[in-house]
Structure 1
Amino acid sequence: MKAKWSIFAVLVLVMSLLLAACGGDKEETPNENGTDEPGTNEENNGTDDPEEDGDTTGFVAPDASELHDEQVLNLLGGSEIPSMDTTQATDAVSFTVMNNVFEGLYRMSWENTPTPGVAESVDISEDGMTYTFNLRTDAVWSNGTPVTANDFLYAWKKALHQDTLSPYAFIMSPIKNVNAIIGDSDEGEDHELYGNVDALGVTATDEHTLVVELEQPTAYFLGLTSFPTFHPQNEAYVTEQGEEYGLEANTLIYNGPFVLSDWKHDEGWTYTKNPTYWDAETVMLDAINVKIVKEVATGLNLYKTGEVDRAGLSSEHVDTYKNDPEYADQFKTSKSPVLFYLKFNQKNEYLANLNIRKALSLGWDKFGLTNEILANGSTPAYFHVPTDFVYDENGEDFRAKYGDFNVEDKTKAAQYWADGLAELGTDAIEVELLNYEGDSARKIGEYLKNQLEGTLPGLTLTISQMPFKQKLALEDAGDYEISFSGWGPDYQDPMTFIDMWVTGGNYNDLSYSNAEFDKLVTDAKKSSDFAARWDMLQEAERILLEEDFAICPMYQRGSSYLAQPYVKNYTIHPFGPDVSYKWTYIEKH
């Protein structure tokens, strides 16, 4: 039964239009997306030239005469894949790989709108509370086993079970009873349903029908089902593999457009076309080779010698290639709704002091960072929810109400610093910045050190550059003082940025807690009033930044890179996993 045109249906339409109009921690690049910046929870969440990268108004398969004889794409990766278990992954590298070797009920299309995946269709109840997914009968795993409704039910319960609880369990919160099961309800672990995965509002009524009940109508739920945490797993296969599941290419089975045919840890991996995929005839690439390269200059050399098809540029390269006629059709820029920021871990006695956090937030020049150090289209960030990302029903940007927070002011910063030192009874502080590996991250760290030590007398900022996987582990354990981090949106709603910082949240590893902030987020999640919900989230962001200085926004990411024009329909998504290769092909050249 189709839903009526309620406020929720209107919201769905508004968001769908925005998806078409707006074109994670992630890894330090150069990466599969050709960028030169550290990543967030989800890769290069930006849009590129529509003609070059596939953000077209409709996908039309090329004629065979247009295709190059060798359909092989060669890319750069910035780090090892941290996890291939969809219930445990938290980062952009893993999510991008999963997006191409697995498939959920729906997947994001080349137009960045939800399109049927394993589900052939969905029936939505009139009140927007129940989704009945009708699974296609020709969807199979790469070992020939059918993909069934039970595969989804098993994976989702696994993600919510206390023994295997996913760090991304919160993303399933629109589903009935999820918050109670994982302890995120008002009653926390005292709720009668805490830990009871059998109470999940999901039923496999038969092998090809999955019924999902929601807590309240959620405009973006259909798109959420494309996110890797919602991907299926085959219980029999997972059980057979035991602790080896997902550790190697051959301890996985796949149901997406590609399979991992080779995975050399810390060196790279290879995707090959999945012949058992239900829509295999749409997939034109035979293989995608990803080589892990951590230095921008090395990646650029590989590009210039024709060994890879995309390469990120750091600031010193931008002007050279931007103005070189030889690269006129290869130089690209993009801007994405990805935010980078400093996390202040309040377990540290110095960083628990509000004046110290104010000083560290206001005591450096963000414009100098984006224009002199990055020089790639990134822009200073004085906010947590990015610009040009989400809009209200009148088309007004989320940023319109409050605009900028915490604009740099070195004079004020010095005074806050002096006040903080006095409150702490010291005249000197040493803190460590946890940083990504790579050229760009190193330059950013050095810039921050020079700026802050020059503004705040008595500060010593030491820098620790760590491989991506180790950095994630330290953050997860809360074992850091200040961390240079980033976040790319999982879905197109301000909540994907705001609810990270609720007390005890899976990504709140900085010991931040504010009861008023928590209540605003909780109430916003329950609200069906769009305007009221919007106001709550805007106020929560204001408290986070203007009152508590819990984090320090740094920049909204832009990217400059080189891309071969013969690579067509390289589809970049502004939220969720960064890239889809399903529609990519190599044109004759």
Structure 2
Amino acid sequence: MTLPAPACGSARRFGASSHRRGHRPRSRCGVRHVALICPMDSNRDKPMNTAPRVPWWTVFAMTGAGVFMLALFLGPRNDLAVLPRPVADRDVLRVAYVQQLTPDPHVWTFPLPVNNQFILSLWEPLIECDPENGQPQAAAAVSWRWSEDRLSLELRLRADGRWCNGEPVTAHDFVRGWRRLIRQNLDCAAVLFPVKNAEAIHRGELADTSALGVEAVDDFTLRIQLNAVRSTFVAELADPLLVPLHATTAAVLENKPYRTAPGTLITNGAFRLVQAKAEGYRLALSPHYRDRNTILLSGVEFIRADGAAMARLLVAVGRADLANPPAIGAPAGLPTARCVTEETEMAMSVVSLDLNVARGPLRDVRVRRALALAMNRAGSIAEADADRLVPAYSWVPDMPGRPGLPLMHEDEAEARRLLAEAGYPGGKGFPVLILPVNQRRPNFGYLQVWTERWYRVLGVRTYLAFDPPEKHKLRYTRGEFDVMQGGLMATVPDAGDLLGLFAHPERFDAPHWANPEITRLMAEANRRSGLERLALLERIERSVMEDVPTIPMIFERRRTLLGVEVAGWYADPLGRQAFKRLAITPVEHGEFHAGGPP
């Protein structure tokens, strides 16, 4: 389920199953649960089969031959040839991707790394964030300053900022881009909600987009008016959604002439579009980008793959240099001798089980705590996902400048004690919990393991309601559920972007939970910075985890498969690696080396 983003920030709610598409973990007994249909009754009146049986030794021999052939063709091998890099691609980074890509910065609903990287290759927002500490850095804007009341922000644009056709990038272009975004029927437009009148325009309460609190003071000065003080707002301007638009771009993105005439798409990033086909996109270094002389790549190619396994194979045979996410399997298991490496980074996202505190026993905090204590997060993670998923014992994962806090623990005995104290010893008298399952999301495996844990430890049963999308939405709207799988992904490298959800009960509506003190503390945190802000955010997180309106279950460690000739790769918790910082190292004697760029 995709829920609206909180007005307090740009973090986006998501259906957690989108992170586990195609992966259904086994239960603890080692087998998946399936429905068995006994054919006895249907065969009762049929004549007995009198055909002679195949001798056991023949079956044994055939089975052995089959196993041998499977081992031969499916087992470890490294005999596939590595394709030589074309001379024209010597300095071209080739990226295998699975998700659908579009050069329209406003036609997407989820900030996956490949989307971020594609858009940020073509477009440049006002700000970039330092991946090591999350602090804002100059990009299209060279400087900024706040008004005394910190409700107005003025940014000075670079005088040498250029579109790929050589025209200057102006403040009017950012106003144009933001007004287009706020008109989009997308939840991600909430990234602008901190801006004055943005939410009212997006909801149709204001028809005039010129009322949006952003204006061009002159060609190179942009002024933004906020609804309330936000200490993280400058960092939020690094979102790939908040890019400028050339005067011709809206029509080009709508009519898509760039498919046959790529030059019609005017962008301001380090690269420009030179080819758009069904099988992918090709970008070349923009001749007018201000720092073009410092960029070592001559271009980027995005290659469409049918699936993660195919993307991994494209890297293995040398057709691509990068795949994210790669298919399951260690780099050593690639079917070629190509030298590759796998880089990982903790994503700023959390998958959770949201508890409807307005229904039945879940009104009792002791029951909610018992459900949280009964979990075995580490034991629930499938072996195939062990290098990708991380048990979540807090709401905010490790992030730059702020390690995760171990706020939640697991204790079966204490869980049983609390449930008995609440009046349900051994689960007796406890009603069946209803957990809706969206049929479009193959997330049944983890939900089954987690809810089975409740039954084994507490005697609490859960009904996994496989509803069609319309009924799923209706059940959610009416609150006719007890547990809902949810999650959140940050789009700002700040703990407040994940915690801000709890300050807005109108956004965090699945649990029907509200705490005015949390709202007050978040407002105070938004007026602070540094250690004062971190201390307030910790108070908020501890308070929420103590009241348990939601149970954080897993974090994700993002994986990227790289050919070792890719130099300059760096971890970014938001998956916004700037390809303009990377390089392709030279090839020596047919092998790649991991040295720095020449």
TM-score interval, normalised by the smaller of the two chains: 0.5 to 0.7
Check 1:195–1:412 CA distance in 2 against 1; reply closer, same or farther (3 A cut).
Answer: farther
CA distance in 1, matches of 2:19, 2:303: 12
- 1:157 offset after TM fit, Å? 4.1
Q: Which amino acid aligns with 1:288?
A: E
Q: Which amino acid aligns with 1:382?
A: Y
Within 5 Å, give how 1:377-456 maps onto structure 2.
378-391=389-402, 399=405, 403-405=406-408, 407-413=409-415, 427-434=431-438, 444-445=446-447, 447-448=449-450, 450-455=452-457
Q: Contact 2:96–2:314 at 8 Å: present in 1 too? A: no
Pick from 112, 120, 126 the counterpart of residue 99 of structure 1.
Answer: 120
Give the deviation of 1:450 after TM superposition: 4.8
> Given residue 435 of structure 2, which amino acid in structure 1 is its aligned partner?
V
Give the match for residue 317 of structure 1: 329
TM-score normalised over the length of structure 2: 0.66
Q: Is the Cα contact below 8 Å between 1:363 and 1:455 reproduced in 2?
A: yes
Distance of 1:230 and 1:450 partners within structure 2 = 43
Q: Which residue does the alignment assign to 1:255?
A: 268
CA contact (8 A) 1:86 1:229 kept: yes
Q: Write the distance in 2 (CA, Å) between the matches of 1:230 and 1:476.
A: 34
Task: Please give the alpha-carbon distance, in whole angstroms, between the structure 1 residues aligned to 2:458 and 2:103.
Answer: 40
Quote how far apart the aligned CAs of 1:514 are.
0.5
1:235: how far off?
A: 5.3
Aligned residues of 1:338 and 1:488 also touching (Cα < 8 A): yes
Question: In structure 1, what is the equivalent of residue 77 of structure 2?
Answer: none
Shift of 1:103: 0.9
Partner residue in 1 for 2:491: 490
CA separation of 1:181 and 1:80: change in aligned 2, threshold 3 A:
closer
Match of 2:552 in 1: 553
Counterpart residue number, 2:4? none
Matched residue SS, 2:523: helix
Gaps of 5+ in 1: 1-23, 39-66, 392-396
Equivalent residue for 2:303, pick from 281, 286, 290: 290
Looking at structure 2, the residues matched to 98 and 537 of structure 1 have their Cα atoms a distance apart, in angstroms, of 31
Residue deviations 1:160-181 (CA, integer Å, cap 9, x gap): 5xx5476345544665xx2x65
Cα distance change of structure 1 residues 550 and 30 upon mapping to structure 2, 3 Å threshold:
closer
Q: Could you tell me whether the CA contact under 8 Å between 1:105 and 1:116 is conserved in 2?
A: yes
Letter paired with 1:147: V
SS in 1 for 2:513: coil
The CA distance in 2 between the partners of 1:348 and 1:293, in whole Å, is 44
Quote the residue 2:170 is aligned against: 148
| 2:558 is the counterpart of 1:566 | no
Contact kept, 8 Å, 2:356 with 2:511, in 1: the verdict is: yes
The percentage of aligned residue pairs carrying the same residue is: 19
Contact 1:318 1:560 in 2 (8 A): no
- Structure 1 residue 384, shift from structure 2 partner: 0.8
1:572·1:580 contact (CA, 8 Å) conserved in 2? no
CA–CA distance in structure 2, aligned partners of residues 363 and 30 of structure 1: 23
Q: Cα offset for 1:383?
A: 0.7
For 1:182 and 1:209, the matched residues in 2 are separated by 24
Shift of 1:108: 3.9
2: CA distance, partners of 1:82 / 1:114: 27
DSSP-derived class of the 2:554 partner: strand
TM-fit CA distance, 1:559: 4.4
1:152 is displaced (CA, Å) by: 1.3
Residue by residue, what CA displacement relative to the aligned partner does 1:447-492 show, whole Å, maximum 9, x if unpaired? Answer: 43554454454634649799xxx99x97998699656554443223
Aligned pairs for 1:309-388 within 5 A: 309-311=321-323, 317-318=329-330, 330-344=340-354, 346=356, 353=363, 357-358=368-369, 360-369=371-380, 372=383, 374-376=385-387, 378-388=389-399
Structure 1 window deviating more from structure 2 (93-102 vs 530-539): it is 530-539
Q: Residue in 1 aligned with 2:238?
A: 226
Shift of 1:102: 1.2
Q: How many residues align?
A: 499
Q: Does the C-alpha gap of structure 1 residues 311 and 483 become closer, same or farther in structure 2, counting only changes over 3 Å?
A: farther
Secondary structure of the residue that 2:504 maps to in structure 1? coil
| Aligned residue in 2 for 1:519 | 519
**Hey, what's the Cα distance between the residues in 2 that align with 1:172 and 1:313?**
29
Write out per-residue CA displacement over residues 216-250 of structure 1, whole angstroms, 9 at most, x where no aligned residue. Answer: 77554443322223222245542x46965899796
Judged with a 3 Å threshold, the aligned counterparts in structure 2 of structure 1 residues 203 and 527 are, in CA distance, closer, same or farther, namely same
Letter aligned with residue 558 of structure 1: R
CA distance in 2, matches of 1:464, 1:148: 51
Q: Partners in 2 of 1:424 and 1:183 — Cα distance?
A: 49
In the aligned structure 1, how far is the partner of 2:143 from the partner of 2:258? 33
Question: Deviations along 1:341-375, whole A, 9 cap, x unmatched?
Answer: 22426399579655665454333311224584532
- Give the one of 91, 97, 116 matched to 1:77: 97
